[in-house]
Structure formats: structure tokens, C-alpha cells
Amino acid sequence: MDLELDGTQRAIHDACTRLFERSAGAGRARALRKTDSFDRDLLEDMQKAGFLDLFADAETGPLAATLITGWASQAAVLAPIGDRTLTAPSVIEGEIPLVVAVADAASANMVRYAAEADLLVFLDGKDAYAAKRGEFDVTPARTKFGYPVGGVSNVKGVRLAAGAADIARNWRRTSTAAEIAGAALAAIELTIKYLGDRVQFGQPIASFQAVQHRLVECYVWAESAQWQVREAAARGAPAELATSAAMTASETAHRVFYEAHQLTGAMGFTIEYDLHLWTMRLQTLRQEMGGARAHARDLVAARWGKK
């Protein structure tokens, strides 16, 4: 098993790293949240560079699109990368608009990027619909959870082919899990830096073994989520792998949120400190597609044919 990036993936990683260092990061995320907006400019730059249309590319495929989704989340990019690069192209052929949102009928009252979307992929049980802007209503809502969100209603649009809902649901779980893994790794990295700088009893807090154990446990969870996501993407997001990755990612989000804020103490609960830019997103992401309970139910159905 080769766990290293191949030449094409390394080139994409290096190009994305340069782009995100220039146009993303904590400062950019803060500025966008002040206006409750998202990063359309960055999405346009990624589209021009071809990074949004790798799903169907024979050389790169869904795995490269999944890698980009995770790296973007780690860089605090505030844009619907996964919905545009993974979920939409899994069920829609041809040209896809720049901004895509995905909603499940069971949780349509809080949909990320709903008001900004040019296209909505709407999942309603076994049916899936593609609705252009104007073919669905949105009620914007303000939250503290790191994303622009809105409630979706009166969805019309075009019904997609039979089986599209299950395919889209599996890829949405894969992309959400990739976002969780990226955000979790960023939160852990920031926490490690803080604990290395903060001195207590004459030595950095990070030098205490009890603290190291908690950090290592978080890192193992985040890495586990990341590698399950990559396996799911490499194998075409079958239900069993997609739900497994989503379950692991959901638990990762819960653990990293709790530990990162506990270990950074009062500083971790202030908006002046950057930690919330990733951890509050984790709280949103772990609830998507029904959260851990729905992932577990669908994993059982995929593995043993029961619900």
C-alpha cells in the first residue's frame, strides 16, 4: 500500500498551499465572518486553476478533490469546496455553477451557503433534485458556528436519476469528513503551539506528560479520520466506507473541540484567539447529514442490510 502522494498530487498540494497562504488563513476568515459572507474570490481563483473540476479527471479523480477539500479546511477557507468538487459532480454531468450547497430534507433548516448558492443539491429520502437559484427559497440565519447558513424551503428544480440521492449522500459524508479532519488538524496544531509557548511551574505546559497524552489522542483521531476519508474517496465512496469515515470524523470533531478548549483554558474561549475559527466549524460539521446517529444507522444498513 502506497501512502505517499504521487507526483500529480504533490504538485496540486504545493499549488494549493501557495494559493491558501496568499488568499486564506485566519485573518481572511475573520474578515469574512464580520460581514457574514464567504470567499467567492478564492473559489473563482480555484476554478480558473482547475482545482474545482478534478472529480471526473482521469488522472486525478475524486481522491485529489478530497485532498483539496481537507487542505482547504485546514487553511480556514470559508467556501463550499467539498460540495462543489465532490458532491455535485458525483450526480450532475456537464458544467456545474461556481457555488453549490447541499441540503438534506431532514435538516433543511440549517444549510451551509444556502443563500449564496447558484445550485442546490437537495436530498429527500430516495430522491435527489438539482435546483438553480430562484428554484428554492432561503431564510438566512446568523449563528456563531463559523459558516453562513440558511433554511431551505419550497425546493423545485429537476429530479436527478434514480440512485442519485444515495450517491450524493455518500460523497457528502466523505467531503464533510474531509473538512472535519482538516479543521481538527489545524486546531490541534494551534493548541500545540499555545502549549509550547505557555510556561507553568517553570516549563512549557506541553512538556507535561498528561497533556501530551491528551494531544496524542486527539491527533490519532484526526489522522484516523483523514485516512478513512482518503480510502473512501479512492474506492468511490461506497456507503460502508463513507459512513465509517463520517462516524470517525464526527467523534473526532467532538473530542478535538472539547480537548482543544480545555487545554488552552480561558484563552481558548475568547474570540480574540483564532482557535474558534476551526472548532466552531467542527460543531457544525459533526451535525451534518444527521450526525453520528444517522451515520451509524446507515453503516449498519450498508454492512448488514438492516436499519
Closest alpha carbon to 87 in 178, 176, 172: 172
DSSP state of 109: T
Positions of E strands within the chain: 100-104, 111-112, 119-124, 127-132, 137-141, 149-153, 158-159, 199-200, 203-204
pLDDT, residue 35, reads 85
Please report, in tens digits, the pLDDT of each residue of the chain (307 residues total).
678 999 999 999 999 999 999 999 999 999 998 888 899 999 999 999 999 999 999 999 999 999 999 999 999 999 999 999 999 999 999 999 999 999 999 999 999 999 999 999 999 999 999 999 999 999 998 888 889 999 999 999 999 999 999 999 999 999 999 999 999 999 999 999 999 999 999 999 999 999 999 999 999 999 999 999 999 999 999 999 999 999 999 999 999 999 999 999 878 788 899 999 999 999 999 999 999 999 999 999 999 986 5
Q: Which residues on neighbouring strands pair with residue 123, listed in sequence order?
A: 104, 128
- 8 A C-beta contact, residue 176 and residue 249: yes
Residue linked to cell 460539521: 285
Q: DSSP string covering 69-106, please?
A: HHHHHHTT--S-HHIIIIIHHHH--S---S-EEEEEGG
Query: What does the block give as the cell for 149?
Result: 447558513
Helix orientation angle between 164-197 and 276-285, rounded to the nearest 10 degrees: 150
CA distance 79 to 162: 29
Residue 304: Cβ-neighbour burial (10 angstroms; 0-12, 13-18, 19+): exposed
SS3 210: helix
pLDDT, residue 291, reads 94
Distance of CA 108 to the CA centre of its chain: 18
Query: What does the block give as the cell for 10?
Result: 504533490
Residue 244 φ/ψ, nearest 5 degrees: -65, -45
Q: Which residues on neighbouring strands pair with residue 151, listed in sequence order?
A: 139
CA distance 177 to 188: 16
CA distance 255 to 247: 13
Query: What does the block give as the cell for 175?
Result: 467531503
| Helical (H) or strand (E) element with 272 | none
